[in-house]
């Protein structure tokens, strides 16, 4: 170990042990289920639950039904699993396939259950309850809840899914517990986490040591800090934060495979992101948690640097690039693809940072990912998502805009309800992204201060100084920038309501008296038993320039794109109405930005003058919301 690295680790350890300087979290995350979607967002989530989110167990039954946490736990003589994928161009080796079904199942159930509760779907809630109790039956007396037999567990020196299988499962169980307050589930979780902390003793074990080969499962396991962070928030017991900081320290010191988020690499400003991208983005959360847990100034510095590095890898729509590896220093609208998993993970990391820091600018990034890149990776007309997608999307035939890759047959650039030919990772995450977004739409700053952090149509039920209050946020946002807040309480009640002011707001139109505080609109008054107020934002057409000096049109939170008419073709069919879809363009016209674009906003679209590169003529072009397109030109 280099001396510098050794000193950093020592510093980290000393801060971890003292814990005197942990940072205060600015906002508190409300219990899952307090915020329910409404309006268009609810409709979209209902379609998902009736679509690929609610049916994945039917589309890929052998993956979802593998009893990997129960009688199918892995032992010394377990055989490699056939996941039905092509493995074309895999450079990661096959040992990851051993644990993979745990990720598929647990991420899928996490999204499924959260959708069920947010939509109050009785049948789906009952199915979730049954699943949770089936899983709890697999817990051993000592608390172990995972995928390995006694002889293997906590005893590895190479690729394994010990912590990752737990992180995905326990996150779902936490959501279930928060929505139901079922104490049986809570006790099982506490016991399961205690079992990890006993068997990987803090600063006396090396859970991230896994030899020199690719060990993506071990690296994913660092997100076990998600569970620890939430356990800390629910119990106020700092042992969970302390353990999370230990996991990050051990990862930094001992892991060799996915190293972008290791402390010494972050602090090395010349080190360029190069890992499997989804790891890079999800590892932002352990870094955030370790920073807040320890208050270590080195970590605070690293967090700032890491955010800057990530920004460079992100497209104008919030696309967290990497297809699936981060291979270029700067995101490119045509040449760098982004994976749906990465969109979810980066968004989730940013919501963690928003909750802890209260920084309003982070919320703009979250909305950008959710309303642009993520919406723009959904098939607007079918229940299917793109595994990989680019901002400029000229063909979706499996390849990245027609590129022939020398070492593999690329099939990720298409729409599918499962993507089983590659890996069933993105669809489960596409089921998680909406509930994870909604859960952070409101936060609490104190007993009498509520904060509308992310803007969307929703209904919040919470308490102010112990008194139940319901707030309906009625809006078509982000497609319109008008809001009505309807407040219903048992009686008149005084409190502070903060509404985030997005960075693109020109004027705030409301009859309410307000002040502006750190990027938030603050309204403080006594609200009547049945009260309401309106607040509207005016904005303008913004011409944004990406890191490659290409131009984008933005209006409010929405990026606009020129849709390209296409012909669709059905590929693999999983079940009735659940098909893979590819799209070919009807035209290869391209447009170029001109300074005198005369862009106007009308009825939800932008009309701009652009140069047609086929005939070099300047002509009016209609741009529509990016999220409503399949093939498109977005940068000009």
**Cβ neighbours around 58 below 10 Å, total:** 13
Q: Supply the DSSP symbol for 628.
A: G
Q: What is the smallest separation between the CB atom of 385 and Zn ion, expressed in angstroms? A: 10
Query: What is the full DSSP assignment across 490-513?
Result: SS-EEEEEEEE--TT--EEE-SS-
Sign of the Cα torsion 143, 149, 150, 153 reads: negative
Q: What is the smallest separation between the CB atom of 574 and Zn ion, expressed in angstroms? A: 17
Q: Which of the stretches 74-82, 335-343, 440-448, 550-558 binds Zn ion when contact is defined by CB under 5 A?
A: 335-343
Q: What is the smallest separation between the CB atom of 625 and Zn ion, expressed in angstroms? A: 24
Q: Which of the stretches 33-41, 139-147, 334-342, 370-378 binds Zn ion when contact is defined by CB under 5 A?
A: 334-342
Cα separation, 94 vs 108, whole angstroms: 22
Q: Supply the DSSP symbol for 95.
A: T
Q: What is the smallest separation between the CB atom of 341 and Zn ion, expressed in angstroms? A: 3
Q: What is the smallest separation between the CB atom of 180 and Zn ion, expressed in angstroms? A: 29
Q: Contact, 625 vs 553, CB < 8 A?
A: no
Q: How far is CA 503 from CA 312, 367, 519, in A?
A: 19, 11, 8
Q: Contact, 390 vs 400, CB < 8 A?
A: yes
Residues 2-21 that bind Zn ion (CB under 5 A): none
Query: What is the full DSSP assignment across 517-576?
Result: ETTEEEEEEEEPSEEEEEEEEE--EEEEE-TTS-EEEEETTEEEEEE--EEEEEEEEEET
Q: What is the smallest separation between the CB atom of 344 and Zn ion, expressed in angstroms? A: 9
Nearer CB in complex with Zn ion: 426/459 = 426
Nearer CB in complex with Zn ion: 9/418 = 418
Nearer CB in complex with Zn ion: 339/472 = 339
Nearer CB in complex with Zn ion: 166/276 = 276
Residue 155 makes CB contacts below 8 A (sequence gap 6+) with none
Nearer CB in complex with Zn ion: 60/606 = 60
Residues 75-94 that bind Zn ion (CB under 5 A): none
Cα separation, 543 vs 521, whole angstroms: 25
Residue 90 makes CB contacts below 8 A (sequence gap 6+) with none
Q: What are phi and psi of 208, to 5 degrees?
A: -100, 5
Residue 308 makes CB contacts below 8 A (sequence gap 6+) with none
Query: What is the full DSSP assignment across 332-384?
Result: -TTT--EEHHHHHHHHHHHHHHHHHH--HHHHHHHHHIIIIIIGGGB-TTSS-
**Helix count (H) and strand count (E) of the chain?**
18, 26
Nearer CB in complex with Zn ion: 163/430 = 430
**Cβ neighbours around 571 below 10 Å, total:** 16
Q: Which of the stretches 27-35, 87-95, 332-340, 491-499 binds Zn ion when contact is defined by CB under 5 A?
A: 332-340
> Could you tell me the two tokens for 589?
């016209």
Q: Contact, 309 vs 258, CB < 8 A?
A: no
Q: Which of the stretches 149-157, 236-244, 425-433, 618-626 binds Zn ion when contact is defined by CB under 5 A?
A: 425-433
Nearer CB in complex with Zn ion: 353/425 = 425
Nearer CB in complex with Zn ion: 385/557 = 385
Q: Residues binding Zn ion: what is the number (CB under 5 A)? A: 4
Q: What is the smallest separation between the CB atom of 350 and Zn ion, expressed in angstroms? A: 18
Cα separation, 87 vs 122, whole angstroms: 39
Q: How far is CA 31 from CA 210, 429, 438, 454, in A?
A: 36, 21, 12, 16
Q: What is the smallest separation between the CB atom of 323 and Zn ion, expressed in angstroms? A: 11
Residues 214-273 that bind Zn ion (CB under 5 A): none
Q: What is the smallest separation between the CB atom of 321 and Zn ion, expressed in angstroms? A: 13
Q: What are phi and psi of 91, to 5 degrees?
A: -110, 5
Nearer CB in complex with Zn ion: 104/633 = 104
Q: Supply the DSSP symbol for 33.
A: T
Q: Which of the stretches 421-429, 453-461, 490-498, 563-571 binds Zn ion when contact is defined by CB under 5 A?
A: 421-429
> Could you tell me the two tokens for 295?
């208050």
Nearer CB in complex with Zn ion: 179/425 = 425
**Cβ neighbours around 449 below 10 Å, total:** 16
Q: What is the smallest separation between the CB atom of 426 and Zn ion, expressed in angstroms? A: 3
Nearer CB in complex with Zn ion: 111/625 = 111
Q: Does 385 bind Zn ion (CB under 5 A)?
A: no
Q: In the stretch 427-466, what mask flags binding to Zn ion with x, by CB under 5 A?
A: ----------------------------------------
Comparing CA positions, the residue from 213, 209, 212, 231 lying closest to residue 162 is 209
Q: Which of the stretches 195-203, 407-415, 417-425, 498-506 binds Zn ion when contact is defined by CB under 5 A?
A: 417-425
Q: What value, to the nearest 5°, has the Cα angle with vertex 34 and ends 31 and 39?
A: 145
Nearer CB in complex with Zn ion: 29/369 = 369
Q: Does 341 bind Zn ion (CB under 5 A)?
A: yes
Q: What is the smallest separation between the CB atom of 111 and Zn ion, expressed in angstroms? A: 13
Q: Does 426 bind Zn ion (CB under 5 A)?
A: yes
Task: Look at strands 493-500 and 458-464 and give their pairing.
Answer: unpaired
**Cβ neighbours around 472 below 10 Å, total:** 19
Q: What is the smallest separation between the CB atom of 167 and Zn ion, expressed in angstroms? A: 16
Residues 96-155 that bind Zn ion (CB under 5 A): none
Q: What is the smallest separation between the CB atom of 325 and Zn ion, expressed in angstroms? A: 13
Q: In the stretch 266-305, what mask flags binding to Zn ion with x, by CB under 5 A?
A: ----------------------------------------
Residue whose beta carbon is closest to Zn ion = 341
- Reduced to 3 states (helix: H, G, I; strand: E, B; else coil), residue 458 is strand
Q: What is the smallest separation between the CB atom of 278 and Zn ion, expressed in angstroms? A: 7
Q: What is the 3-state secondary structure (H, E, C) of 323-334?
A: CCECCCCCCCCC
Nearer CB in complex with Zn ion: 426/599 = 426
Q: Which of the stretches 119-127, 189-197, 419-427, 602-610 binds Zn ion when contact is defined by CB under 5 A?
A: 419-427
Q: What is the smallest separation between the CB atom of 340 and Zn ion, expressed in angstroms? A: 6
> Which of 316, 388, 425, 606 touches Zn ion by CB under 5 A?
425
Nearer CB in complex with Zn ion: 429/481 = 429
Nearer CB in complex with Zn ion: 324/550 = 324
Contacts to Zn ion by CB under 5 A: 339, 341, 425-426
């Amino acid at each position: 170990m280099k001396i510098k690295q050794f000193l950093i680790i020592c510093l980290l350890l000393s801060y971890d042990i003292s814990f005197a300087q942990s940072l205060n979290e600015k906002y508190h995350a409300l219990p899952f289920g307090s915020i329910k979607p409404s309006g268009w967002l609810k409709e979209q989530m209902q379609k998902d639950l009736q679509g690929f989110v609610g049916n994945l167990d039917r589309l890929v039954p052998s993956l979802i039904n593998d009893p990997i946490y129960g009688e199918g736990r892995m032992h010394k003589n377990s055989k490699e699993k056939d996941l039905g994928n092509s493995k074309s161009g895999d450079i990661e080796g096959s040992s990851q396939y051993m644990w993979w079904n745990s990720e598929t199942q647990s991420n899928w159930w996490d999204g499924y259950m959260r959708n069920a509760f947010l939509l109050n779907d009785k049948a789906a809630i009952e199915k979730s309850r049954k699943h949770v109790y089936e899983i709890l039956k697999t817990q051993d007396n000592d608390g172990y809840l995972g995928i390995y037999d006694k002889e293997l567990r906590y005893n590895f020196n190479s690729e394994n899914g010990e912590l990752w299988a737990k992180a995905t499962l326990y996150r779902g169980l936490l959501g279930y517990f928060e929505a139901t307050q079922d104490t049986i589930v809570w006790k099982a979780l506490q016991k399961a986490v205690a079992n990890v902390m006993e068997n990987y003793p803090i600063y006396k074990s090396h859970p991230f040591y896994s030899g020199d080969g690719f060990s993506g499962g071990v690296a994913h396991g660092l997100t076990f800090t998600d569970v620890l962070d939430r356990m800390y928030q629910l119990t106020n017991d700092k042992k969970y934060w302390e353990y999370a900081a230990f996991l990050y320290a051990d990862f930094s010191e001992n892991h060799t495979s996915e190293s972008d988020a290791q402390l010494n690499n972050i602090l090395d400003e010349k080190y360029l992101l190069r890992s499997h991208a989804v790891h890079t983005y999800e590892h932002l959360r352990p870094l955030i948690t370790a920073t807040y847990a320890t208050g270590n100034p080195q970590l605070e510095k690293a967090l700032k640097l890491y955010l800057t590095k990530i920004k460079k890898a992100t497209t104008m729509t919030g696309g967290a690039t990497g297809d699936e590896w981060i291979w270029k220093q700067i995101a490119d609208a045509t040449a760098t693809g982004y994976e749906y998993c990465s969109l979810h993970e980066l968004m989730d990391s940013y919501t963690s940072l928003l909750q802890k820091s209260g920084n309003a600018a982070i919320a703009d990034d979250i909305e950008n990912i959710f309303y642009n890149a993520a919406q723009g990776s959904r098939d607007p007309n079918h229940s299917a998502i793109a595994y990989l997608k680019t901002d400029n999307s000229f063909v979706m035939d499996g390849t990245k805009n027609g590129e022939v890759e020398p070492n593999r047959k690329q099939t990720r650039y298409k729409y599918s309800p499962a993507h089983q030919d590659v890996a069933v990772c993105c669809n489960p995450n596409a089921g998680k992204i909406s509930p994870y977004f909604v859960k952070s739409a409101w936060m609490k700053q104190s007993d009498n201060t509520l904060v509308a952090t992310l803007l969307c149509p929703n209904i919040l039920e919470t308490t102010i100084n112990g008194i139940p209050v319901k707030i309906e946020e009625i809006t078509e946002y982000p497609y319109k920038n008008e809001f009505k807040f309807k407040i219903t309480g048992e009686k008149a009640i005084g409190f502070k309501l903060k509404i985030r002011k997005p960075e693109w707001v020109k004027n705030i139109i409301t009859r309410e008296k307000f002040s502006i505080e750190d990027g938030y609109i603050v309204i403080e008054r006594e609200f009547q038993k049945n009260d309401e107020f309106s607040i509207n934002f005016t904005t303008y057409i913004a011409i944004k320039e990406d890191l490659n000096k290409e131009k984008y049109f933005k209006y409010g939170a929405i990026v606009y794109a020129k849709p390209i008419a296409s012909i669709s073709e059905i590929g693999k069919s999983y079940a009735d109405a659940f098909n893979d879809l590819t799209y070919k363009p009807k035209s290869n016209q391209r447009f170029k930005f001109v300074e005198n674009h005369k862009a106007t906003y009308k009825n939800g679209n932008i009309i701009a003058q652009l140069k047609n590169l086929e005939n070099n003529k300047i002509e009016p072009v209609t741009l529509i919301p990016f999220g409503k397109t399949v093939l498109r030109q977005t940068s000009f």
